[in-house]
Every structure is written in C-alpha cells, then in structure tokens.
C-alpha cells in the first residue's frame, strides 16, 4: 500500500488526545519504508524490477530483512516509541507511536506477494492483494478515507489544511497506480519515494499544528493551536 499506510496515523490521532501530533504519526506510519529506501541506496537491502511480478507493480522486494521482517519492524517500533516517549515524557504517546510503526508490516501483509519475513529467514509471507486490484484499490481508499474522517470528527480546527493534505495524498496515489511503471531499478525510485514521504509529512505537520483533539481543553488547546 501507499496512502493506506497513513490510515493508522489518522486513527491514532483520533483515538487519543495524548497521541503524538499528526506529523510524528506520519513518520511512524512509513518509518520502515524511509529506512528501506535509505538502505537500498546504501546497498544493504535490495529490490528488483520484474515486470508482471504482480498485477499492480513490478517490484520484487526480495531482500529486506531489516525493515520488512516482523522482528525488524518491531525493533523500529520500539525504538521510535522510546524516542517519542523520551521527548514527550508521555507513555501513551510513545505507545501509539510504536503501534503505528508496527501497523506497517500488518498492512503490507495484506497486499504484498510473499516477500515479508518474520525475522529475515527464508520463509516468506504475504496475502498478495496486489494481484487483485479490484480488491486492493478500493480497500486502500476505504481505510484511508474512513480513518481521515474519524480524525476530522475527533479534532477541531480549520478544514483547509487537512483537505489539502488529502488532495495531495490522492494525487500521489494516482501517480503510484497509473503512472508508467519503471522498467529498471535506479536511484531515482528511492529518491522519488522519499521526496513524496517528505512532502506528505510536512503537510501532516502543518495539519497537526492547526488542529487539536476535542478532548483537549484549556492550556492543552492553546498549546495545540500554537
């Protein structure tokens, strides 16, 4: 998935007034993909372009034991949660941050062909919904829109920033689905992905600074507005 990975970020922001700001949750949701593309450029993990390997994209993610094993994702989740907890001094915020990181592997499990591992071993997992676009595409849009609406109902603030965020998310998702597929692996693929992540994270940070949870009152609301 692409924008579907940010559904847990919206959901966490809606569930608890103590969750981290939306920008932090957006980093959490795609943290292992940030790491994947950086490790690709360093030659530590690897993927290939194999046209037709799935119906929706040509990515053969054959070697990503550190970022896309369940154990590796859990380590990222624990580390990110500890950082958020240290900075916020809030165990609830740390827990939600870690859970959003962990959600990445579970969402990938739905759509990936069997290329995910439990701990980097030879046995690989994935339900392969990328081979069934009629299910994968509506599913991605549905979970993203539902989580976004939940976040909007649970928070207060101007509507223009989140609408801009959603519009850009949909634009990038359309490009992900309908732009010409790459025919060979190059450094521009991870650079383009990281650029998209950065743009959406900056927009989410803007949204998080303009909205506050409805359960926040007094000084908490003033802080959220600031």
pLDDT at residue 215 in the model: 86
pLDDT at residue 1 in the model: 83
Residue 225: pLDDT band (50, 70, 90) is: very low
Q: Which residues contact 65 (CB under 8 A, 6 or more apart)?
A: 45, 72, 117, 119, 120
- What average pLDDT score do residues 198-211 get? 97
Q: For 51, what's the count of Cα atoms within 13 Å in the CB-facing half-sphere?
A: 5
- What average pLDDT score do residues 183-210 get? 96
pTM: 0.93
pLDDT at residue 222 in the model: 47
Q: Give start and end residues of each alpha helix (H) in 126-187.
A: 133-154, 160-178
Q: How many domains does the chain have?
A: 1
- pLDDT above 90: percentage of residues in the chain: 92
Q: What does the pLDDT look like over 48-91, one tens digit per residue?
A: 999 999 999 999 999 999 999 999 999 999 999 999 999 999 99
Is residue 15 within 8 Å of 186, Cβ to Cβ? no
Decide: helix, strand or coil at residue 63. Answer: strand
Residue 178 dihedral angles phi and psi, to the nearest 5°: -115, -10
Q: How many CB atoms are located within 10 Å of the residue 214 CB?
A: 13
Q: Could you write out the DSSP letters of every residue in 77-114?
A: HHHHHHHHHHHH--HHHHHHHHHHHHHHHHHHHHHS-S
Tell me the residue range of the domain where 66 lies: 3-225
Q: What's the rounded Cα separation, in Å, for the pair 178 and 137?
A: 12
- pLDDT above 70: percentage of residues in the chain: 96
Mean pLDDT (the chain) is: 94
Q: Which residues contact 165 (CB under 8 A, 6 or more apart)?
A: 200, 203, 204, 206, 207
pLDDT at residue 44 in the model: 97
pLDDT at residue 226 in the model: 39
Query: What angle is formed at CA 124 by the lines to CA 121 and CA 125, rounded to 5 degrees?
Result: 140
The partner residues of 125 in beta bridges, in order of sequence, read: 116
Q: What does the pLDDT look like over 129-161, one tens digit per residue?
A: 999 999 999 999 999 999 999 999 999 999 999
Q: What's the rounded Cα separation, in Å, for the pair 207 and 226?
A: 12
Residue 217 has pLDDT above 70, yes or no: no
Q: Which residues contact 63 (CB under 8 A, 6 or more apart)?
A: 45, 46, 47
């Amino acid at each position: 998935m692409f924008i579907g990975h940010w559904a847990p970020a919206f959901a966490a922001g809606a569930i608890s007034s103590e969750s981290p700001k939306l920008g932090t949750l957006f980093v959490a949701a795609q943290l292992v993909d940030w790491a994947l593309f950086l490790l690709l450029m360093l030659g530590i993990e690897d993927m290939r372009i194999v046209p037709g390997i799935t119906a929706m994209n040509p990515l053969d993610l054959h070697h990503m034991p550190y970022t896309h094993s369940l154990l590796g994702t859990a380590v990222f989740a624990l580390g990110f949660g500890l950082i958020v907890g240290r900075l916020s001094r809030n165990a609830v915020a740390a827990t939600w941050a870690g859970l959003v990181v962990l959600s990445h592997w579970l969402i990938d499990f739905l759509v990936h062909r069997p290329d995910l591992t439990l701990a980097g071993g030879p046995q690989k997992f994935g339900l392969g919904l990328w081979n069934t676009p009629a299910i994968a595409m509506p599913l991605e849009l549905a979970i993203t829109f539902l989580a976004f609406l939940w976040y909007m109902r649970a928070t207060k603030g101007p509507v223009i920033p989140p609408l801009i965020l959603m519009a850009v998310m949909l634009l990038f998702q359309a490009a992900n689905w309908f732009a010409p597929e790459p025919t060979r692996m190059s450094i521009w693929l991870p650079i383009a992905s990281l650029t998209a992540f950065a743009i959406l994270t900056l927009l989410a940070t803007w949204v998080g600074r303009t909205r506050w949870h409805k359960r926040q009152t007094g000084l908490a609301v003033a802080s959220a507005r600031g």
